Chain A
Amino acid sequence: MSDLNLLYTDVEDSLRDSVRSLLEDRCPAERVIATYDGDTSLGPELWRALAADLGLAGLLVPEALGGQGASAREAAVVLEELGRFAAPAPFLTSAVIATTVARRAEESELVSALASGTTTAALAVPFSAGPATFGSDVLRFDDGLRGNVSSVAGALEADVLLVPVPTETGFEVHKVDRDQVTMEPVVSLDMTRQLADIDLTGAASTLLIDATDGAAAVRDALELGAALLASEQLGVAEWCLESTVAYLKERRQFGRIVGGFQAIKHRLADLWVEVESARAAARYAAATAAEGDPDRQVATALAQAYCSGAAVHSAEECVQLHGGIGMTWEHPAHLYLKRAKADQLAFGTAEGHRATLAGLVDLPV
């Protein structure tokens, strides 16, 4: 199970370079900060560039359907970079999770539209729902769906919603066009991934996946989302560590470079170890997902149990070790703290993932 390559391949490195240079160009921190003040123009611009110019919308879609035919390993590298910039882009929600559901449904028209970036989709479950815990109160009637789904990530950007609908035997997944629902933007802890509350009353829908496979389809998509979120968390943690180290090599107090005080050095050394550990966990989750390795559920729960906390810790250290400037609206540290904390609650908590692990590795309570 450890023979998988946990390093980055040349292909992955070159993908990273193109994503990073695009984000350096198009995703400056001040515009990300502006999303908190109501200027949300960055998101759509950025997604057009990422989805169309770099073709990232179709990264996980086979070439025959107009995608790039890449694996979870490459998607993980994209997420590392999106995390490094706290970029507001629906890559995880549309290009990873919704696309995985659409591919399971074998809806080639929808998959091709998603791959080209002309259509964006979101799975209508709360962002906090994990593969082991998701549910839905949405019901299907003759005149359409009825019910609400709260705190959905990627919905505001979506043209199409994929809605799990419980039946007596499981879950169906329905496709609902955006104009069929009422969507209320949520003032979110992390405005770089703003959530929405959705009212589906009366929404016309088409059945995408029937009850025999719907629950598994949603679970697998959320599991892939959780596995790859670890790489976004790694990117967040990495940016926080690097920017803090860089700042503390410049900042002087008491006539000394602050990064030379041993209390600071030791905290940063521990943080570096934590970030490198998060990298190993995130890479393992991506590699097992890419290979369909039998250990992938363990890898996903492990990566979420570890990386979610590592990102939060790194962001908290970033704020603290920047001192006063880290507490300001102007400095980007808060973008990462908010992203890290929201990500920690996404797809289930660390405690929930540890409980999942307990079952998988035979450590019962």
Chain B
Amino acid sequence: MTDDEVVADLRRRVDDLLIRHDPATTDRLDFMRARFDAGLAWVHYPEGLGGLGLPRAMQSVVDEPLAKASAPDNDPRRIGIGLGMAAPTILMFGTEEQKKRFLRPLWTGEEVWCQLFSEPGAGSDLAALSTRAVRDGDSWVVNGQKVWTSVAHKARWAILVARSDPEQPKHAGLTYFVCDMTDPGVEVRPLRQITGEAEFNEVFLTDVRIPDENRLGNVGDGWRVAMGTLMNERVAIGGGAAPRESGMIGVVADTWRKHPEVRTPAAHDRLLSLWVEAEVARLTGTRLRQKLASGEPGPEGSAMKLMFARLAQQLSSLELELLGEDGLRYSDWTMVRPEIVEFTGRDAGYRYLRAKGNSIEGGTSEVLRNIIAERVLGLPPEHRDDKDVPWKDLPR
């Protein structure tokens, strides 16, 4: 089929969906299921798994008429971990049974997913993690502690990396699982952060039983599977196509326009310098997306995240200074567990504090610089004395 024919065919499918399941009279969940079954959920996924095996760019042909028809969506911000991390990993490494079982309720939002990767002792050095998975017949018994898990308290499933073989060097002894968050051995506790709220959780795993059929990828192949997940995360955090002045620069520019009394020549030049950097970063993202027409994440995504984090921090810092006396006030320190996190949400004080996490989460800026230096520029890798030592013999 030519591109035009593909577009025409997609439009027909959308029309057909809307006729058979009128959004005005169809139950929200029924509509989402029908959309998935029609292959219109994510068109770049295979047929039978919510897609049609088309290029990712064709998704807009579906999304636009559906939005126009006021069709419900799957509230993607609420299920970001599932859509952005779990789904591509399941698609890449899962068995046919796993894909059939997990992808549909993941996409419709019926089942929320979370991610059990980081540990108190394994942040940037994720491969050093120590949560143990011990084989016991047809299942695995998992013990350990995970951290920085958003929506763990809402989640039905988790993607989990655990150590299946401590005799192997750290990267080799890991296995990737799908963990049932309703297992009685799973305990979720909110993790309060510097903003006052608890966006994340600590998750304690005590004798959690995972059937072997919920393993993703081969035993000992967990690192490779996890890397696939994390490259998807960085692309997601680095941001998608956005109009000029979206994100933090838009918030600060609005403040500037609405408050003539905050303007000084020195602040003006700072604002303009940051405006220039934000706009250039946006164009760099546009250029990157044009380059990665295939949609495959690469190390260049690290550059976008690096820029995004620095700009968010500098802009939110400037905003507080602009506000003067008002910058001394904070909306609310009460501990809450927000379901949706907007970096540009709430007040200026929140934005300033939350932005501090941008250079830590999803790969610290320091690790990202190593990635660029090594994979893009081809500079020598860091010394890794622990690389070939059995994990059990590492100092900790």
Contacts and interface: CB of A to CB of B under 8 A. Distances in A.
Contact of A2 (B283, B369, B378): B283
Contacts of A354: 269, 272-273, 276
A280 B286 contact: yes
A136 B153 CA distance: 71
B303 A273 contact: yes
Interface centre among B276, B283, B369 (most CB of A within 10 A): B283
A248 B291 CA distance: 28
A302 B284 CA distance: 13
Nearest to B291: A7
B263 A364 contact: yes
B379 A277 contact: no
B373 A265 contact: yes
Given A269-B369, A280-B286, A363 B253 contact: yes
A7 B257 CA distance: 34
Nearest to B383: A260
Nearest to A355: B272
A245 B377 contact: yes
A64 interface: no
Interface size class of A (residues with CB under 8 A): 35 or more
Contacts of A351: 269
B379 A302 contact: no
Interface centre among A262, A273, A284 (most CB of B within 10 A): A273
B373 to A, nearest CB: 4
B321 interface: no
B272 A259 contact: no
A11 interface: no
Given A6-B290, A284-B283, A358-B272, A260 B379 contact: yes
A363 to B, nearest CB: 6
A278 B290 CA distance: 16
Interface string B371-383: 0111011111110
A279 interface: yes
A281 interface: yes
B256 A363 contact: yes
Interface string B279-298: 11111101100110000000
Interface string A344-365: 0000000100110110011111
B324 interface: no
Contacts of A306: 276-277, 280
Interface residues of B, number: 44
A354 B307 CA distance: 20
Contact of B286 (A6, A260, A361): A6
B214 interface: no
B62 interface: no
A20 B268 CA distance: 41
Nearest to A305: B276
Interface in B141-179: none
B272 A273 contact: no
Interface in A266-296: 266, 268-270, 272-273, 276-281, 283-284
Nearest to A3: B286
A283 B271 contact: no
B290 to A, nearest CB: 5
Given A260-B379, A284-B283, A268 B290 contact: no
B299 to A, nearest CB: 10
Interface in B214-233: none
A266 B368 CA distance: 9
A268 B276 contact: no
B380 A257 contact: yes
A133 interface: no
Contacts of A273: 303, 306-307, 372
Given A280-B283, A283-B287, A2 B268 contact: no
A256 B290 CA distance: 38
Interface in A217-264: 245, 248-249, 256-257, 259-260, 262, 264
Given A2-B283, A7-B290, A277-B280, A270 B369 contact: yes
Given A280-B284, A280-B287, A362-B257, A245 B275 contact: no
Nearest to B267: A365
A265 B377 CA distance: 9
B241 interface: yes
B380 A363 contact: no
Interface string B346-372: 000000000000000000001011101
A365 B268 contact: yes
B206 to A, nearest CB: 39
B246 to A, nearest CB: 11
Nearest to A264: B379
B280 A2 contact: no
B284 A268 contact: no
B137 interface: no
B283 A272 contact: no
Contacts of B269: 351, 354
Nearest to A354: B272
Contact of B379 (A2, A268, A278, A284): A268
Contact of A266 (B272, B273, B290, B366): B366
B395 interface: no
B276 A302 contact: yes
A245 B376 CA distance: 11
A269 B365 CA distance: 11
B306 A248 contact: no
B283 A281 contact: yes
A78 to B, nearest CB: 20
Contacts of B307: 273, 277
A268 B377 contact: yes
Contacts of A284: 283
15 contacts: A2-B241, A245-B379, A266-B370, A269-B368, A269-B370, A269-B373, A269-B376, A269-B377, A272-B303, A273-B306, A280-B280, A306-B276, A306-B280, A361-B275, A363-B256
Interface of B: 241, 243-244, 253, 256-257, 263, 265, 268-269, 271-273, 275-277, 279-284, 286-287, 290-291, 300, 303, 306-307, 366, 368-370, 372-374, 376-382
For the complex of A and B, 7 pairs with smallest distance between CB atoms: A260-B380, A265-B373, A269-B372, A269-B369, A354-B272, A280-B283, A280-B284
